[in-house]
């Protein structure tokens, strides 16, 4: 069987198409496992994994922890708010201290872009990036593509529009890399101030008009406005944003076809998406969460198989 071409999962940028297919095929098997009455396999019983979160997270952290436990790995959790980081310890020191307790793999979320890449050059352990600033969130992009594949049969040739705060979104960047790698067409849609300059150099088109974007696409991936990353005002009011870029039942019903609605969470109900859309049969938001565990099991399993 093929192995992953990488020793760490730092970003989709470093993967090739074969890696993505291998992760999906492995995730298929784990999806079957997590739907059994006994949802656990003993594969990783001699592996210890540290989840290091320097930034808050609920879904991703729970999903990783569950994936690790379903594979029978030993898990330690660490949040920056309750740690020596506050006392002035550097990232490398913190991680090396954890690794001296014989940890094989590190899952890390960090507010600085490139934190995982930096760490992978300085410590001996397999690193999985669980989000680094506004840079990448590879497992989210993998589970998004996996959910599209599950719903529509294939990712190749599908039209996906990413709507909202693309500028501050690691989910958007990882999704663009993943979707392009699999041969999907991608557009981004949002206020000009929230679309990064030069995004077209990644091979995506900008569609400023929400209705046109929705009429074009098979899948709409809705993003949250990341107020916590905004130091200046990017649009006049939330109400105006919702009127221009929020989706609701009325606009979806006025389209020629039924499109698939995705959201990486957390949802701000009534801002980028209304409740009737988020909870409708068009939305695969909760399938994304379920698939997240299978995808993370696959990534961890494949990376752990390379640890000697």
Partner 1 sequence: MLSNKLVALSMSQKVLLSSKEIHIILHRLACQLLENHLDFKDTVLIGLQPRGIFLAKRLARILKEEYKVPGIKLGLLDITFYRDDFRRGDKPLEASTTHIDFLVEGKNVVLIDDVLYTGRSIRAALTAIQSFGRPQDIELLTLIDRRFSRHLPIQPNYRGRQVDAINEEKVKVMWEENEGKDVVYLVNK
Q: Which residues bind partner 1 (CB under 8 A)?
A: 1, 3, 26, 28-29, 32-33, 36-38, 40-44, 46, 71, 301-302, 304-308
User: Are 38 and 51 in contact, with CB atoms under 8 Å apart?
Assistant: no
User: Are 271 and 245 in contact, with CB atoms under 8 Å apart?
Assistant: no
- Please state the closest distance from residue 197 (CB atom) to partner 1, in A: 42
Cα–Cα dist 8/130, whole Å: 12
- Please state the closest distance from residue 132 (CB atom) to partner 1, in A: 27
- Sign, CA torsion 196/202/208/211: negative
- Please state the closest distance from residue 171 (CB atom) to partner 1, in A: 28
C-alpha R_g of the chain: 19
Nearer to partner 1 by C-beta: 87 or 102?
102
Nearer to partner 1 by C-beta: 79 or 305?
305
Cis status, amide bond into 163, omega within 30 of 0: no
**Helix (H) / strand (E) containing 279:** none
Nearer to partner 1 by C-beta: 40 or 249?
40
Nearer to partner 1 by C-beta: 76 or 307?
307
User: Are 51 and 64 in contact, with CB atoms under 8 Å apart?
Assistant: yes
Nearer to partner 1 by C-beta: 285 or 303?
303
Cα–Cα dist 28/305, whole Å: 17
- Please state the closest distance from residue 23 (CB atom) to partner 1, in A: 12
Nearer to partner 1 by C-beta: 16 or 276?
16
- Please state the closest distance from residue 62 (CB atom) to partner 1, in A: 22
- Please state the closest distance from residue 168 (CB atom) to partner 1, in A: 37
The count of other CB atoms within 10 Å of the CB of residue 92 is: 13
User: Are 201 and 180 in contact, with CB atoms under 8 Å apart?
Assistant: no
The structure tokens listed for 262 are 């995705």
Nearer to partner 1 by C-beta: 40 or 211?
40
- Please state the closest distance from residue 32 (CB atom) to partner 1, in A: 6
User: Are 208 and 189 in contact, with CB atoms under 8 Å apart?
Assistant: yes
């Amino acid at each position: 069987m093929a192995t992953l071409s990488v020793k760490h999962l730092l970003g989709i940028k470093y993967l090739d198409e074969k890696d993505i297919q291998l992760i999906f095929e492995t995730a298929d098997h784990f999806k079957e496992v997590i739907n059994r009455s006994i949802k656990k396999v003993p594969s990783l019983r001699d592996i210890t994994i540290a989840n290091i979160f320097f930034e808050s997270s609920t879904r991703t952290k729970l999903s990783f922890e569950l994936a690790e436990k379903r594979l029978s790995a030993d898990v330690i959790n660490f949040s920056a708010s309750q740690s020596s980081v506050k006392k002035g310890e550097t990232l490398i020191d913190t991680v090396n201290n954890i690794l001296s307790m014989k940890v094989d793999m590190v899952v890390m979320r960090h507010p600085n872009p490139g934190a995982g890449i930096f760490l992978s050059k300085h410590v001996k352990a397999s690193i999985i990036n669980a989000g680094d600033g506004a840079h990448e969130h590879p497992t989210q992009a993998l589970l998004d593509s996996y959910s599209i594949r599950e719903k529509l049969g294939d990712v190749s040739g599908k039209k996906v529009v990413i709507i909202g705060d693309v500028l501050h979104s690691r989910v958007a960047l990882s999704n663009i890399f993943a979707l392009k790698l699999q041969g999907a067409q991608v557009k981004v849609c949002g206020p000009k101030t929230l679309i990064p300059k030069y995004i077209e150099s990644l091979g995506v088109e900008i569609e400023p008009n929400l209705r046109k974007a929705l009429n074009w696409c098979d899948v709409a991936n809705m993003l949250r406005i990341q107020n916590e990353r905004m130091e200046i005002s990017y649009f006049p009011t939330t109400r105006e944003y919702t009127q221009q870029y929020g989706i609701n039942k009325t606009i979806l019903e006025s389209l020629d076809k039924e499109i698939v609605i995705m959201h990486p969470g957390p949802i701000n109900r009534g801002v980028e998406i209304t409740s009737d859309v988020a909870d409708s049969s068009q939305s695969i938001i909760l399938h994304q969460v379920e698939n997240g565990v299978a995808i993370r099991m696959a990534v961890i399993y494949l990376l752990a198989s390379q640890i000697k």
